[in-house]
Structure 1
Amino acid sequence: MTAKTIEATDFVRLHDGQNLCLLDVRTPAEIRNDALIPHIAIPLDQLDAKTFIAQREGLYSPDQPVYVICQSGKRAQLACEKLRKLIPEELIVVEGGMNAIRQAQGLTQTVKTPISIERQVRLAAGSLVFLSVLAGYFVHPIWFALTGSVGIGLIYAAVSDSCAMGMLISKAPWNR
């Protein structure tokens, strides 16, 4: 069962002047780059009911619905699936996440940060392909296998809408 959703434009209208309980499940680096204030920030990989309840305590009423956001909406859906049976609050995913909110109005607050996770993934994948082609040509042809592996990884990331390299890079020290 999918979580209840709200369009970004409706969320922007609702957010204006109201103290909504907003759960942001993006990485700290993504939040530093673009954030809605106020919010509860718990990355998806660290999200559990105990952590959420502890951070919500004193900020929001337990009977308020919880609006869940991420960058594009997929992680917010996963967060709702994770919390649905553990907390009594109504969970609502903001469709399209921060990308859609940014387009809808611009409630976000931008802070100077390192390059985005997505750009870091493209840089890493491109570098791996380039270096493995060079190594395959000058060192040994076995290095061409790495080029193929990166290609397969990119195809899988596109089909599954999940990126293992992105998750790995998001845990790097400069993205904390």
Structure 2
Amino acid sequence: MTSALNTMDAAALKCLVDAPDADLALIDVRTAGEFETVHIPGSYNVPLEEFTANAAEVLAKIPGTPVLICHSGNRASKAQRALNEQQLGHSTVLIGGVTAYENAGGTMVRGVQRWALDRQMRMTAGSLVLAGLLGAKFISPKFAYLSAGIGGGLVFSAVRDSCPMISALGKMPWNKVAK
């Protein structure tokens, strides 16, 4: 059973957040490092993997109507689909994520600045493809397999709608938060 996603644009969320009696649970499903870099005040950070594995527990601990937030809306949509599959009630996805919220004039909390995971992934994949092509030209033709492997991985991630490279990057030390 698939159900349509409930969404909200950034301007509407800003109005609700600014309302003194808003009963919202802003749940940010990005990694801890991304959350530390920039987030909406009052939001709770529960990374996507943790959220989908423990959604009932998370919702029991965080009062209010859940609004799911990520960088662009993709991970928040995955979180909402998980809630729907587990029949855990109504939630809303912020269209465009924290970027759209900030562009709509929403107040943001800023911490240690780091690149978003999708940007890190593009830099890593592009660098590896370029290294493979240069290595194939100047060192050994076998370096072309590196570029082919990265290209195949990107196709796989698009088909599966998940990205192993982003998962790996999310575990890197520069994306961790000091506790």
TM-score when normalising by structure 1: 0.82
1:32 aligns with 2:36: yes
Secondary structure of 2:34's counterpart equals helix
Code of the residue aligned with 1:10 in structure 2: it is A
Measured against aligned partners, the alpha-carbon deviations of 1:14-52 in whole angstroms (never above 9, x if no partner) come to 110335211111111111111112122111111122440
Alignment CA distance shift 1:106-1:158 (3 Å)? farther
Structure 1 counterpart SS, 2:42: coil
Q: What is the CA–CA distance in structure 2 between the aligned matches of 1:96 and 1:160, rounded to whole Å?
A: 21
Q: Report the Cα distance in structure 1 between the residues aligned to 2:94 and 2:145, rounded to whole angstroms.
A: 41
Tell me what 1:101 maps to. Answer: 101
Amino acid at match of 1:31: F
Amino acid at match of 1:93: V
Matched residue type, 1:45: E
Which residue number in structure 2 is paired with residue 7 of structure 1?
Answer: 9
Give the whole-Å Cα distance in 1 for the aligned partners of 2:140 and 2:88.
59
Q: What is residue 169 of structure 1 aligned with on the other side?
A: 169
User: Residues 51 and 113 of structure 1: is their aligned pair in 2 closer, same or farther, counting only changes over 3 Å?
Assistant: farther
Give TM-score scaled by structure 2 length: 0.81
Count of matched residue pairs: 170
Counterpart of 1:28 in structure 2: which amino acid?
A
Q: Of 51, 58, 62, which aligns to 1:52?
A: 58
Distance in 1, matches of 2:163 and 2:131, equals 21
Q: C-alpha displacement at 1:140, in angstroms? A: 2.1
Gaps in structure 2 of 5+ consecutive residues = none
- The within-5 A match list for 1:22-171 is 22-47=26-51, 48-53=54-59, 55-56=61-62, 60=63, 64-84=64-84, 86=86, 88-154=88-154, 162-171=162-171
* Distance change in 2, residues 1:9/1:148 (3 Å): same
Structure 2 counterpart of 1:78, one-letter code: K
- Distance (whole Å) between structure 2 residues aligned to residue 170 and residue 126 of structure 1: 18
Would you say the 8 A contact 2:26–2:67 is kept in 1? yes
Q: 1:160 to 1:101 in 2, by over 3 A?
A: farther
Question: Matched residue of 1:30: which SS?
Answer: helix
Residue-by-residue CA offset, 1:119-142 (whole Å, 9 max, x unaligned)? 322221222123222322333212
1:82–1:161 Cα change, 3 Å = closer
Partners of 2:112 and 2:159 in 1: how far apart?
A: 32
